[in-house]
């Protein structure tokens, strides 16, 4: 289910130095968000995309699909920024309804274009990180950056446990689907509620068992990850 995670472990750049990849992405993100130049953003977009698809070997069609995940938010937000409603006419393009003007100003247009390029440049950068670098390695980099130990431990644990719950959630969901659990709104709501409570109950039971198992592993309070 987590496609990005799968690619992170199976692409051509999986085993390359994570510190370098991390640094590249940080620089790219910084450039995209600090400068206000459309061409820089587009360059970043192109370079990152090439790195991800050509160098790392992520299939292009999958890559584009990923880029469009947040498209709803993007489109909605850009439209919101683009369009203004007022009684005053200072628009580059507008229509008139009753006494109001609904239109797009020149500045809004510029801003939207810049925003779009910036968003895609940034997304391409983050995708490069996510698609080529296993999260375990990312955590190691964060550890070297002196992030709080407790935080690192939680990152390690949560990353591991995500997959336990994903598997269970899918199993429960499939079981429910087979019993027409999602055939209409009311059922869906109820099934989802049941799914979540089941997951939670299993969480508590897992917790109890894990406490026992941890004792057998001589757990002393720390989840070290060495180097």
Partner 1 sequence: MIKVESLEYKYKDGTKALKNVNIDLDKGNIIGIIGSNGSGKSTLFLNILGILRPSKGTIKYNNIPLKYDKKSLRNYRKEVTMVFQDPEKQLFYSRVYDDIAFALRNLNVSEDEIRKKVELILDRVKAMDLKEKPTHFLSYGQKKRVTIGGAMVVDSNVILLDEPTSGLDPAMSEEVMSIIKDLSNEKKLVVSSHDMDFIYEVCDYVYIISKGEILGEGIPEEIFLKSKLLKDAGLDKPWLVKIHEYLGIPLVKNENELLKNKLIKESI
Partner 2 sequence: MKKKNYLILGILFLLLSTPSVSNAMHIMEGFLPAKWAIFWAIVSLPFLVIGLRKIKKVFKDDVNAKILLGLAGGFVFVLSALKIPSVTGSCSHPTGVGLGAILFGPTVMTVVGTIVLLFQAILLAHGGLTTLGANVFSMAIVGPIVSYIIYRGLKNTRINKRFTVFLAASFGNLATYVVTAIQLSVVFQDPVTGLMGSLAKFLSVFAVTQIPLAIVEGLLTAIIYNLLVNYNSKGVVNIENI
Residues that bind partner 1 in the complex, under the rule CB under 8 A: 9, 134-136, 156-157, 159-160, 163-164, 167, 206, 209-210, 212-220, 222-227
Nearest-approach distance from CB 128 to partner 1, in angstroms: 20
Q: Which is nearer to partner 1, 65 or 208 (CB)?
A: 208
148 binds, among partner 2, partner 1, none (CB under 5 to 8 A by kind): partner 2
Least distance CB 171 / partner 1 (angstroms): 12
> The tokens of 54 are what?
């050509």
Q: Which two tokens stand for residue 200?
A: 């939670």
Shortest CB 128 distance to partner 2, Å:
11
Residue 127 interacting partner from partner 1, partner 2, none (CB closer than 5 to 8 Å by kind): partner 2
Decide whether 118 or 143 has the Cβ nearer to partner 2: 118
Residue 226 binds which entry of partner 1, partner 2, none, with Cβ cut-offs from 5 to 8 Å by kind? Answer: partner 1
The whole-angstrom separation of Cα 2 and Cα 7 is 9
- For residue 96, the cross-strand partners are 101
Comparing CB distances to partner 1, the nearer of 39 and 215 is 215
At its nearest, how many Å lie between partner 2 and the CB of residue 14?
15
What residue 200 binds from partner 2, partner 1, none (CB within 5 to 8 A, per partner kind)?
Answer: partner 2
On whether the CB atoms of residues 102 and 92 are closer than 8 A, the answer is no
Q: Which residues contact 13 (CB under 8 A, 6 or more apart)?
A: 21, 55, 56, 132, 133
Smallest gap from Cβ 179 to partner 1, in A, equals 24
Structure tokens belonging to residue 61: 């069609």
Spatial neighbors of 113 by CB under 8 A, at least 6 apart, are 38
Binds 153: which of partner 1, partner 2, none (CB < 5-8 Å by kind): partner 2
Q: In this complex, which beta carbon is closest to partner 1, that of residue 144 or of residue 224?
A: 224
In order of 21, 101, 130, 161, the CA distances from 127 in angstroms are 11, 40, 5, 23
Q: Where are the alpha helices (DSSP H) in the chain?
A: 3-10, 18-34, 38-50, 60-67, 71-82, 106-132, 135-144, 149-178, 185-216
């Amino acid at each position: 289910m987590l496609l990005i995670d799968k690619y992170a472990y199976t692409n051509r750049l999986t085993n390359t130095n994570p510190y370098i990849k991390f640094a590249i992405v940080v620089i790219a993100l910084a450039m995209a968000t600090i400068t206000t130049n459309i061409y820089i953003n587009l360059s970043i977009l192109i370079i990152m995309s090439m790195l991800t698809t050509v160098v790392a070997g992520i299939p292009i069609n999958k890559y584009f699909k990923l880029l469009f995940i947040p498209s709803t938010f993007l489109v909605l937000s850009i439209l919101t920024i683009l369009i203004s409603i007022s009684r005053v006419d200072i628009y580059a393009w507008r229509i008139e309804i009753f006494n109001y003007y609904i239109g797009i100003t020149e500045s809004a247009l510029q801003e939207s274009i810049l925003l779009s390029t910036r968003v895609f440049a940034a997304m391409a950068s983050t995708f490069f990180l996510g698609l080529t670098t296993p999260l375990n390695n990312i955590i190691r980099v964060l550890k070297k950056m002196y992030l709080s130990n407790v935080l690192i431990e939680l990152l390690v644990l949560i990353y591991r446990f995500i997959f336990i719950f994903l598997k269970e959630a899918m199993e429960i969901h499939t079981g429910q689907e087979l019993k027409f659990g999602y055939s209409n709104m009311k059922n869906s709501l109820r099934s989802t509620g049941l799914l979540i409570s089941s997951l939670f109950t299993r969480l508590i039971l897992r917790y109890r068992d894990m406490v026992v198992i941890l004792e057998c592993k001589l757990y002393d309070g720390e989840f070290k990850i060495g180097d």
